[in-house]
Structure 1
Amino acid sequence: MTIQLTTAARQRMQDFLAKEPAACGVRFGIKRTGCSGFGYTVDLATSVAGDDTVFEQDGVRLIVDRKALPFVDGTEIDFQRQGLNAAFVFRNPNATGECGCGESFTVEAQA
């Protein structure tokens, strides 16, 4: 099981972590939302729970809840800037569909 960060995503996360010394890493997960079912969440983490899986890449600790892991395993997280907009972009091999706006996704078990 793995989650990969591109150089741009890693650098962006390192910037956030440097500004928040109390954070122990970045929490990556999902929530039910949008027109396709699930949306991604990326937040600073203040703790690691017993059922979390921790991935570390080039000094960035990525913390994923056990329940979310089957939905995001194998995901590559990128960070892209387009004009004035900047956002994390997710390439998830488990997603079987996405909404038109790209804010939510579906997986086979849910479809």
Structure 2
Amino acid sequence: MSDLKPIQFLGTSLDDLRSFPVSARREAGYQLDQVQHGHEPDDWKPMVTVGQSVREIRIRDASGGFRIIYVAKFANAIYVLHCFQKKTQKTSISDLSIAKKRYRDLIQEHS
């Protein structure tokens, strides 16, 4: 088995992920495993408003839409910036600002 990049959860992202319903949590784990193996998640989009190389994994289940915002461009780890349930069509400003702040802090830490 090849060396998998570890996943680092920033801020409250791990607790937020743990609050997802079981089926969404299971799907999130599968999608993050795909990223660890160097593959694309099944449903994702770039989040350039948050930062360069930041992506959003999109998960839908019976309880609604769930999102995982992460960045995998660093050699040492995959960083999960934010996990949340999406309640409207547009991502809320507060969810975006949480992800942006964690991304800025991460970039500062790596420079």
Give yes or no for TM over 0.5.
no
Larger Cα-atom Rg: 1
Structure with more of its chain in strand, by fraction: 1
Structure with more of its chain in helix, by fraction: 2
TM-score, normalising length from structure 2?
A: 0.31
